[in-house]
Amino acid sequence: MELESSNVGTATAAAIAVKLPQFWPHAAKLWIAQAEAQFTLRQVTSSLTKFYYAIAALCGRLFMQPKKISAQPEGRHASH
């Protein structure tokens, strides 16, 4: 039982420690490599978690360009 709670605490602490730089539109491939390195170092494996970290790192002006960025992960749609 103690081992289980220890693993949960470690996973939570690792996920919290991820800090991605603001997205670099002029060097997107390099930014993605940087993000993947951070996820690997912090043992973040969930695609959904990675998606939300990436969205959080985008600057606001990128959201003003319609249809270039989806605010929802692929396969998830807002319920009507």
Q: What is the rounded average pLDDT of the residues 18-36? A: 93
What's the pLDDT at 73?
73
Does 18 fall in a domain? yes
Number of domains in the chain: 1
Q: Residue 11 to residues 6, 37, 42, 47, 67: CA-CA distances in angstroms?
A: 9, 17, 8, 15, 34
What average pLDDT does the structure give for the chain?
Answer: 77
Write out the two tokens for 11. 């996973």
Residue 11 belongs to some domain of the structure: yes
Write out the residue range of the structural domain in which residue 46 sits: 2-63
38-61 pLDDT, tens digit each? 999 999 999 999 999 998 888 776
Query: Which carries the bigger pLDDT value, residue 40 or residue 16?
Result: 40
**Is residue 26 included in any domain, yes or no?**
yes
Whether the CB-CB separation of 53 and 16 falls below 8 Å is answered with no
**Which residue did the predictor score with more confidence, 49 or 77?**
49
Residue 25 lies in a domain: yes
User: How much is the pLDDT for 25?
Assistant: 87
